[in-house]
Amino acid sequence: MKVAVVYNRDSKNVINLFGAPNQEKIGMRTIGRLTKALTSGGNQVQAFEADKELINRLEEFMPRVIKGEQPGMVFNVSYGLQGQARYTHVPSILEMVGIPYVASGPLGHSLALDKVVTKMILRQQNIPTPEFTVLETPEAPIPGDVAYPAIVKPKNEAVSFGLRVVNNDDELREGAGVIFEAYHQPVLVERFIEGREINVGILGNCPPEPFPPVELSFGVDGPQIYTYEDKTGRSGRSIEPVCPAPISDELTAEAQDIAVRSFRALGLYDCARVDLRLDDEGNLYVLEVNSLPSLGEHGSYLVGAAYVGLDFEGFVNRLLDVARARYFGTPTPPVVDGAKADPRKHAVAYVTQRRDRIERRVKEWVELPSAFDDPVGLQRAMTRAGNLFDELAMKPIPELTDAPQVGAWETQAGLDGGTLFLAGLDTPRSQLSPTQPFRRDPEKLYGEAVGQRAGLVMLEYALRSLRSIRRLRRLPLGVMLCTDEVLGCRKSAEISQAAARAQRVFVLAPSPESDGIVLRRRGNRKLTLQVTGNPILPVQTTQRQATTRWTIAKLEQIVQLTSRSKAVSVSILDLATHGYAQYLPHQVRAGLLITYQDRERATELEREIRAILGRRGCRWDLTVDWDRPPMPETDQNAALLERWNDVADQHGISFQRTTSSVASLGGLVAATTPSLCGIGPAAHGRSTPDEHIERISLIERTLVLTEFLAQELPA
């Protein structure tokens, strides 16, 4: 990934020097460490000064991406050059030109920089902060209720600029005068909290994770506050950060809770540092919230990160991943140590780094027509799949292949005793019907059979990730694809044979629910009713019953056979008539669908249909087009879902068992073989012009599938 480290240091490259200049500087040593750490994380990195040339430089380094390609990212550590709310300048520019970036946005920065607004928001949220007042002008009277000692500081500055403890009105007036003269802004007067200073760092968003509290030890000499001179090394004393702060577990939890609540109250992202004071009675007060915490080598923020096991390189790349997750919806991936990475973790990182490639592949599949009645399109789809598995060095399984209806492939380790994946390549739309083109919005991917296609892409990238660590050939695994799923798999008997050789089976059908995995599906029996009567003229309907009316009356009785208690239903799928010119139709064809959990119930319902049709009236013929058996919910399936969720839990994802009335390839798997269906992304509006999947579901499920298979690798 391309990462631009954007900072402010020495540039005066602006159109005009105007307004209050920035006095915060970031050290070049820190910029160098950032660049090195991000490069070690596998990124292509350059550092840029944030001035009027920034957009041109960024566009040259990370040009506008083609459709589906993930853009680069800015690692923002810029404090701004001049003017008000300087922290907001670079984020605002980046949002305008469409470049994602690390850390908070303009609104969060502006709220955190305004200390008065911050305190008002904190009070509104019942977050403790010292009492305060504001002097708007040098001549403003000092309120009579100011309690001394007090702190004076500029309203809109950071890094302790102008910070001073005052003990009476004269000192307050003097300290405020210095601030008015130097910073030309209102002065915040705040009750000074005698006690200890505690800092809590925050990393992440969903949820924000607090680091252990860090206490700043000021020693016995000098003021018990962290001054600008201390932060810039000019005070002559050493401030020692102590982590974890020597406070009780209860106070630790309270400090972390207050920090997280403050972070959320101000609408911050990715990272922050919350500065608190702890008085002698054990009360905590928020002094301010730093929306762009210092990444200096010995700062309290990095001290807290180090305590939880994040060295500088690990922390920087973790922060980058946190921001990427916020923008692109990927679950938070693990911290990657390129030199020492577990191959299984590398396989997972392979997926999280290729979200746009995955979505682009879904688009390619959606744009490949393969309707159930399009033999040319189906052959192209099977050829594409075959080329993919050839590229992955998987070999065909001749005894399980029946071209063009069924194709089967296995790894070098073979299918037997391994994992089998099942999927259909045919889509339910007739080739004469209009297609739904691929499109994308911030949360969804739309397209013809996009749910089914996305399942194939999930498998592709899970296998590619294992191949990237050279482990795919060692994993017992097979794939079977059919081209007649819509027509009931009438010519795909090999599926049951393949499933019998596997230890477990995954069906790549889409899930009907966002967090669902299908453990039980009904069976479907498709019937065709052909009714033939005598041709009659319209004027004869008073003397003879028309074939259409007879058929409709019988169908009305048939649909009444649906029984919730027996878990069977019968529905009319389609109805067509045929007749001679000027005569009423004398032939009617109706498609019927029986859904069932128990095959004997379905057979009983079929007998009842025949009884309703009877022997009197029109001639009829009832044939079974196909019979897709149900997928029963078994203890083995439940145990497999539990294993799946064990993997998902590591990424903060969980899946619930669900059922479906729609038959799938899972019904062709013997009940004794553990199987899961609907592991594909959650799909909504299936077979309609609004069919879509959730983008986050695509990545989450690809991630879980990849790690599940990675854990199956031989040690």
Residue spans of the domains in the chain: they are 2-101, 111-130+193-326, 355-521+631-711, 523-628
Is residue 100 pLDDT above 70, yes or no? yes
* pLDDT (0 to 100) of residue 222: 60
Task: Spell out the alpha helix ranges (H) of 308-417.
Answer: 312-328, 343-352, 355-366, 375-391
Structure-block tokens of residue 583: 């005569």
Q: How confident is the model at residue 8 (pLDDT cuts 50, 70, 90)?
A: confident
**3 state DSSP class of 380:** helix
Q: How far apart are CA 321 and CA 329, in angstroms?
A: 11
Of 431, 317, 448, give the one whose Cα is nearest residue 34.
317
Question: What values do phi and psi take at 211, rounded to 5?
Answer: -80, 165
- When pLDDT is averaged across residues 132-147 and rounded to a whole number, the result is 88
Mean pLDDT over each residue of the chain, to the nearest integer: 87
Q: How far apart are CA 702 and CA 694, in angstroms?
A: 13
Phi-psi region of 602 (alpha: psi -120 to 50; beta: other; left: phi over 0): alpha
Share of the chain above pLDDT 70, in %: 91
Lowest mean pLDDT among 463-467, 632-636, 686-690, 706-710: 686-690
Q: How confident is the model at residue 479 (pLDDT cuts 50, 70, 90)?
A: very high
Third-level CATH fold of 111-130+193-326: D-amino Acid Aminotransferase; Chain A, domain 1 (3.30.470)
* pLDDT (0 to 100) of residue 66: 42
Of 227, 213, 233, give the one whose Cα is nearest residue 278.
213
* pLDDT (0 to 100) of residue 706: 92
* pLDDT (0 to 100) of residue 494: 86
Residue 619's H or E segment, with its range, is strand 619-628
Residue indicated by tokens 């030109």: 97
* pLDDT (0 to 100) of residue 367: 94
Lowest mean pLDDT among 420-434, 493-507, 536-550, 685-699: 536-550
Q: How far apart are CA 445 and CA 442, in angstroms?
A: 9
Which of the two residues, 159 and 124, has the higher pLDDT score? 124
Question: What values do phi and psi take at 310, rounded to 5?
Answer: -100, 105
Q: How confident is the model at residue 230 (pLDDT cuts 50, 70, 90)?
A: low
**3 state DSSP class of 199:** strand
What tens digit of pLDDT does each residue of 557-569 get? 999 999 999 999 9
Q: How confident is the model at residue 82 (pLDDT cuts 50, 70, 90)?
A: confident
* pLDDT (0 to 100) of residue 543: 56
SS3 content of the chain, % helix, strand, coil (to 5): 35, 25, 40
Instruction: List the helix and strand counts (H, then E) for the chain.
Output: 19, 30
* pLDDT (0 to 100) of residue 450: 94
- When pLDDT is averaged across residues 571-599 and rounded to a whole number, the result is 93
- When pLDDT is averaged across residues 241-253 and rounded to a whole number, the result is 93
Q: How far apart are CA 423 and CA 440, in angstroms?
A: 24
What tens digit of pLDDT does each residue of 298-351 get? 789 999 999 999 999 999 999 999 999 998 875 544 443 333 446 666 776 788
Longest dimension (CA), the chain: 115
* pLDDT (0 to 100) of residue 513: 87
Beta-bridged to residue 195, according to DSSP, are: 279
Contact (CB, 8 A) for 74 and 102: yes
Same fold across 111-130+193-326 and 355-521+631-711: no
Q: How confident is the model at residue 617 (pLDDT cuts 50, 70, 90)?
A: confident
Q: Name the class of domain 523-628.
A: alpha beta
Q: Name the class of domain 355-521+631-711.
A: alpha beta
Which of the two residues, 234 and 11, has the higher pLDDT score? 11
The verdict on pTM exceeding 0.85 is: no
Structure-block tokens of residue 236: 């002559």
What tens digit of pLDDT does each residue of 493-549 get? 789 999 999 999 999 999 988 889 999 999 999 999 999 998 888 887 665 678 999
Structure-block tokens of residue 61: 């380094």
Q: How far apart are CA 68 and CA 100, in angstroms?
A: 15
Which of the two residues, 333 and 626, has the higher pLDDT score? 626
* pLDDT (0 to 100) of residue 481: 95
Q: How far apart are CA 401 and CA 498, in angstroms?
A: 10
DSSP state of 335: P
- When pLDDT is averaged across residues 445-470 and rounded to a whole number, the result is 93
* pLDDT (0 to 100) of residue 106: 95
* pLDDT (0 to 100) of residue 123: 95
Structure-block tokens of residue 268: 């911050």
Q: How far apart are CA 658 and CA 671, in angstroms?
A: 17
Share of the chain above pLDDT 90, in %: 58
Q: How far apart are CA 151 and CA 165, in angstroms?
A: 5
Residue indicated by tokens 């970036």: 101
Residue indicated by tokens 């399942």: 455
Residue 548's H or E segment, with its range, is helix 547-559
**3 state DSSP class of 600:** helix
DSSP for 421-488? EEEE--BSS-TTSPP---EE-SSEEE-TTHHHHHHHHHHHHHHHHHHHTT-GGGS-EEEEEES-TTTT
Phi-psi region of 630 (alpha: psi -120 to 50; beta: other; left: phi over 0): beta
Is residue 585 pLDDT above 50, yes or no? yes
What tens digit of pLDDT does each residue of 361-391 get? 999 999 999 998 899 999 999 999 999 999 9
Q: Name the class of domain 2-101.
A: alpha beta
Of 51, 38, 48, give the one whose Cα is nearest residue 11.
51
Is residue 68 pLDDT above 50, yes or no? no
